[in-house]
Amino acid sequence: MKAMKTISVPLYIDALNRLDIDQSLPGDLKEIYLNDAEFEELFSSGVINEINHHLGKLIDDYEDESIQVLQDLKAMLGLLEAKISQNDLPVLQKIISLTKIAIVNKTGVFFYF
């Protein structure tokens, strides 16, 4: 059975701390789960390669990665918004929403692929 691709955002600092030690409680996280088609659309859009390049990350299949620095979250948001103006994919809108939550709550976006 394939593992589900998940993108998680802790909703507050205590939730971020619990996520770090794999002790998340119900209500700690806002998450989206990507099916195979959404995952393929996301990678085919090129935005993940741009995020990896600009932020020095390794978001990829079979990799876990996070973006937690506020400046990096804002940069990622800019890249996502630029990409959605070219290609209005629902998966991009979902990640934009999660990124905005992470910025407001000063937490992070966690990719579990």
Tens digits of residue pLDDT in 62-83:
889 999 999 999 999 999 999 9
Asked if residue 100 is part of any domain, the answer here is no
Residue 34: pLDDT over 80: yes
Asked if residue 80 is part of any domain, the answer here is no
Residue ranges making up the domain that contains 42: 35-60
Asked if residue 93 is part of any domain, the answer here is no
For the purposes of burial, counting CB atoms within 10 Å of the CB of 98, is it exposed (0-12), middle (13-18) or buried (19 or more)?
A: buried
Tens digits of residue pLDDT in 2-15:
568 999 999 999 99
Higher pLDDT, 60 or 1: 60
Asked if residue 66 is part of any domain, the answer here is no
Asked if residue 4 is part of any domain, the answer here is no
Give me the number of domains the chain comprises. Answer: 1
Asked if residue 78 is part of any domain, the answer here is no
Asked if residue 54 is part of any domain, the answer here is yes
